[in-house]
Amino acid sequence: NYMGLMQWRASDRSLPASVCSVPCRMGERKKIVKGVPCCWHCERCEGYHFQASEFSCELCPYEQRPDANRTGCQDIPIIKLEWHSPWAVIPVFISMLGIVATTFVIVTFVRHNDTPIVRASGREMSYVLLTGIFLCYAITFLMIAAPDVGVCSFRRIFLGLGMCFSYAALLTKTNRIHRIFEQGKKSVTAPRFISPASQLVITFSLISVQLLGVFVWFVVDPPHTFVDYGEQRTQDPAAARGVLKCDISDLSLICSLGYSILLMVTCTVYAIKTRGVPETFNEAKPIGFTMYTTCIIWLAFIPIFFGTAQSAERMYIQTTTLTISLSLSASVSLGMLYMPKVYVIIFHPEQNVPKRKRSFKAIVTAATMSGKLQKGGDRPNGEVKTELCESMETNSE
């Protein structure tokens, strides 16, 4: 009995295996020891590799990852931005507040459509601008909705359209103000193309450029979805995810928003040019403050949006940044241009009554005498502006 003759160093008396190598576990390949063909080392298949045979590991297809045992591959889970995610809840909340506020302003303007304050603000252009503000808020829901061909199509259409409506209207307004004031320095004759109809034609001509660009985009590259497996392809295959997206690249996004940003910059230039216009003459100063604030918002947007291009949470950060920037831009326009008017309409109706109209000549002459206007601070704010705009409408009609 050889077992009885053996001496054991521990209580474990199991016989040692008389082999040079032990069998490899699942997910490990045999690596033959050089010079000893019957012996091997066990080497684990790492990363996105799986055990293809007894002696080899192979890389899984790009859209797959190794299973738990690393003996095969399985599909990488596909994710999208969910409505209950904190990245979505905050933009949606801001957007809903904005939609409610915009709707309230529109209803207030419609109910008081023929009052001096609404007429002085340029009713037609105000409704165009409010439509753009509403679209800037509404795009949040399309950006968070599950991507499909329909959603991707609407994203392309409305992504830059809300901003285009807003800044085309503001650009037309500031250009009109600039021309009226410059003309008033030279002559008492009203400049051309300042009637509501002319302003609408100019505004929708600017908007049509955006729509034409979107149409070309549809023809050249029809909208579709794809799964981005590179964005969240982590070192640990178990944490890898595919991101369902619309086929809108960063370059396409820049092109879609670029025209609207060009309108915004041009409008800002006109706002700077008209910054010296007397406060009671027009909306130049509120529009100027609106454009300066909006430019700051988008200057902050650019580094945040493009600085996260390599982040694993790129989809969440970029979507949230874009939607909040659009909502903030809309909120600035709504708050600075319309909330003061709504406040007067609702809480001070006595200031929203018709006043005796003066001729265009008298109003422009008074407006260009900025020194006298500044001394006449006892006049109600907006009186001259109201008279001018109503005179413009009367003369143009």
Q: Residue 315: its pLDDT value, please? A: 86
Q: Is residue 18 part of a domain?
A: no
Does residue 305 sit in the same domain as residue 370? yes
pLDDT score at 394: 46
From residue 171, give the alpha-carbon distance in Å to each of 65, 191, 391: 53, 17, 21
108 and 253 part of one domain: yes
pLDDT digits (tens, 9 = 90+) for 91-101: 999 999 999 99
Question: Do 225 and 118 belong to one domain?
Answer: yes
Among 75, 97, 117, the domain-final residue is: 75
Residue 81 lies in a domain: no
Q: Are 165 and 135 in contact (CB under 8 A)?
A: yes
Write out the two tokens for 48: 């996105």
Quote the pLDDT of residue 176: 85
3-17, 91-105, 282-296, 371-385: which range is least confident on average? 371-385
For the chain, give the percent of residues with pLDDT over 90: 55
Here the CATH number for the domain that contains residue 334 is 1.20.1070
Give the Cα separation of 45 and 56 in Å (integer): 9
Report yes or no on 284 lying in a domain: yes
pLDDT tens profile 124-142: 999 999 999 999 999 999 9
Are 153 and 241 members of one domain? yes
What is the CA angle 391-393-394, rounded to 5? 65
Q: Per the domain annotation, does 9 fall within a domain?
A: no
Percentage of the chain with pLDDT > 70? 82
* Selected residue with higher pLDDT from 37 and 361: 37
171 with 235, same domain: the answer is yes
Phi, psi of 376 (to 5 degrees): -85, 55
Read off the CATH number of the domain in which 42 is found: 2.10.50.30
**What is residue 230's DSSP assignment?**
E
Assess if residue 209 is contained within a domain: yes
User: What's the CA gap between 325 and 319, in Å, rounded?
Assistant: 10
In the block, tokens 């369902």 appear at 244
69/37 same-domain check: yes
The verdict on 70 and 205 lying in the same domain is no
Same domain, 283 and 392: yes
Does some domain include residue 6?
Answer: no
Residue 285 burial by CB count (10 A; 0-12/13-18/19+): exposed, middle or buried? middle
- Is residue 125 domain-shared with residue 32, that is, in the same domain? no
96 and 33 housed in the same domain:
no
Residues 71, 94 within the same domain: no
Residue 17 covered by a domain: no
The whole-angstrom separation of Cα 284 and Cα 171 is: 11
Distance between CA atoms of 378 and 330, rounded to whole angstroms? Answer: 33
Q: What values do phi and psi take at 3, rounded to 5? A: -65, -35
Q: 45, 69 in Cβ contact below 8 A? A: no
Are 67 and 94 in the same domain? no
* Domain interval for residue 57: 23-75
- The pLDDT-based confidence of 367 (bands split at 50, 70, 90) is low
Polymer length of the chain: 397
Express each pLDDT in 301-344 by its tens digit: 988 888 877 777 888 999 999 999 999 999 999 999 999 999 99
- Report pLDDT digits (tens) over 142-191: 999 999 999 999 999 999 999 999 999 999 988 888 887 777 677 767 67
Provide the pLDDT confidence category of residue 36 given band limits of 50, 70 and 90.
Answer: confident
SS3 label, residue 112: coil
In the structure, what pLDDT confidence band is assigned to residue 383 with cuts at 50, 70 and 90? very low
Count the domains in the chain.
2
DSSP-assigned states of every residue in 277-342: S-TTT-SHHHHHHHHHHHHHHHHHHHHHHHHTTT-TTHHHHHHHHHHHHHHHHHHHHHHHHTHHHH
Tell me whether residue 295 is in a domain: yes
User: By the 8 A CB rule, do 291 and 267 touch?
Assistant: yes
d(CA 217, CA 246): 14
Tokens of 243: 């991101």
